[in-house]
Structure 1
């Protein structure tokens, strides 16, 4: 006779739940202790380990050279960042969102915003429209604004020698080499956000910036899990795929206290024969 993996009460093969403690007997096995005790939230009810998911570490690499990486980091139980990176009609689109940790289901907010905005931008919508659609998607995750999932937002559209950025919150964009900051945070000096996406965000008016670089470089869009570690020696050269991995290692070696997400896009001035 088998036993319940939590309370070890004897159970019958046909039982769906333990009659003593109520634990569902068809739960997945834990990757650490092997007990079939993983709950619906992904935590083992015996040893407490959160089970790894595909979002703990993700990488994207496009044929045109752009690359992105997103990682759970060393201190957080799950990755509440999300990213999208795609090419369409000679244009590269990137969206990076950081779930607001103090909100519920922050990972769902970031994922909904990224998915919606990337589809809108790839379909030819303006950067402003994409943010508005992302805001509606995140706000639609709840009917209760007092318990609303939330995230920050930054997007980049690169093509024809121009870069268009849009953002709300404190996710950022930088120009490399040199780590020249291209965005300004929606936050007070203490770090509290003044703009975000979510049902409790009110009217969202995104910042939009468009420019034509005069020299080749790399555009980086990222969350604070990377840029909080930009002091001191930080790599800012090399191929995007390898540099993205180097920057992730830099953030983890420096503490990795938050989720880390960054996308790197090579940019050439219009008319550059190497663009």
Structure 2
């Protein structure tokens, strides 16, 4: 997420004096190892073969991954560089996946242009397909300090709140929708608190991020958002539905009559008007509720994906075609969509979370 805010450097490299950020493990200029600050750890993101990430590890710049060099297959040394070709190894935070159930998965990627991944996601699901899924995506504002740490903490805090409640046993559809909406607002509160907890009190550019979360439960789909990360419902053989409306300069221009193409290509297209953080004007999520009964794809994503395909209908076509090419498997489909966004330029961090009903 890029907005026009002043960026500052946390410190300098003790070896060469070059600028480094608090989250860096190595100096980008000379490669010198930087001593990380200690931080508490939390449970890993997932238990599959993908790299795992802990909040404490992210705050410290993330440990050097174990495994062969991605460029040549050589051995990665303790300094984080390949001993054969010299390529710097990617940090686990640069690309990670979650798949809590066979029908729900997400992929979060640094992209090509950015030097760190400020996107984050946290998802949960029951094993039975179509039963219950919780998808949360937070996109850190690039010009704010420690937004990568704050966004991950926010996403996980929101997911934990959403997991704690269950509205399926309530009576009417309206009462269940109200209960879920209240839980989404509580999740946004928890996410906001997590951002504040990961912001230095005297920071000149306090950490900030967007927030979008969806709850699928008992035939109801409820979405809440702050900022310009989005949620969509793509039913099979029916019209695509954008579940969220951006809190952004571009969205206001579109509402005022400007074409989407012109508004989203302007100089302030990605300036958001609401966010989570110390200086946020309001973090109450905008809530949308939709009953779902047939098959389809639920997608939550950051602007790293929709930047390249903003309209709901063509984005639905892209998701359906990609899913068909990967056997309808959510993790493979999400990964392929991330690859597609990188192929378009990868100008931002990219997060795609999917649930297949």
The match for 1:260 among 320, 325, 350 is: 350
Q: Which has the larger radius of gyration?
A: 1
The match for 2:300 among 215, 221, 242 is: 221
Change in 2 beyond 3 A, CA 1:40/1:229: farther
Alpha-carbon distance, 1:50 to partner: 6.9
Scaled by the length of structure 1, what TM-score is found? 0.77
Alpha-carbon separation, structure 1, partners of 2:218 and 2:96: 28
Q: Residue 127 in 1 paired to residue 184 in 2? A: yes
Q: Residue 108 in 1 paired to residue 149 in 2? A: yes
The match for 1:202 among 274, 278, 281 is: 281
Find the residue that maps to 2:224 and give its secondary structure.
Answer: strand
Alpha-carbon separation, structure 1, partners of 2:205 and 2:217: 39
- For residues 44-89 of structure 1, give each alpha carbon's deviation from its aligned partner in whole angstroms, at most 9, with x where no partner exists: 8x9xx87522111111223341110001111110110011111259
**Residue aligning to 2:242:** 181
1:83-98 matches, within 5 Å, as 83-88=121-126, 90-98=131-139
**Residue aligning to 2:318:** 234
Report the structure, 1 or 2, having the larger helix content. 2
Alpha-carbon separation, structure 2, partners of 1:51 and 1:104: 23
Q: Residue 151 in 1 paired to residue 209 in 2? A: yes
**Residue aligning to 2:45:** none
Asked if structure 1 preserves the Cα contact closer than 8 Å seen for 2:145 and 2:203, the reply is: no
Asked if structure 1 preserves the Cα contact closer than 8 Å seen for 2:143 and 2:205, the reply is: no
4+ residue runs of structure 1 moved beyond 6 angstroms? 19-22
Find the residue that maps to 1:68 and give its secondary structure.
Answer: strand
- For residues 145-164 of structure 1, give each alpha carbon's deviation from its aligned partner in whole angstroms, at most 9, with x where no partner exists: 74210000100111211111
Change in 2 beyond 3 A, CA 1:193/1:50: farther
Find the residue that maps to 1:109 and give its secondary structure.
Answer: helix
Asked if structure 2 preserves the Cα contact closer than 8 Å seen for 1:223 and 1:260, the reply is: yes
RMSD over aligned Cα, in angstroms? 3.2
Change in 2 beyond 3 A, CA 1:245/1:120: same
Alpha-carbon distance, 1:166 to partner: 0.9
**Residue aligning to 1:270:** none
**Residue aligning to 1:82:** 120
Report the structure, 1 or 2, having the larger strand content. 1
Unmatched 5+ stretches in structure 2: 1-13, 18-24, 37-60, 63-78, 82-86, 166-181, 251-267
Asked if structure 2 preserves the Cα contact closer than 8 Å seen for 1:146 and 1:200, the reply is: no
Alpha-carbon distance, 1:242 to partner: 1.9
1:39-54 matches, within 5 Å, as 39-40=34-35, 52-54=90-92
Scaled by the length of structure 2, what TM-score is found? 0.60
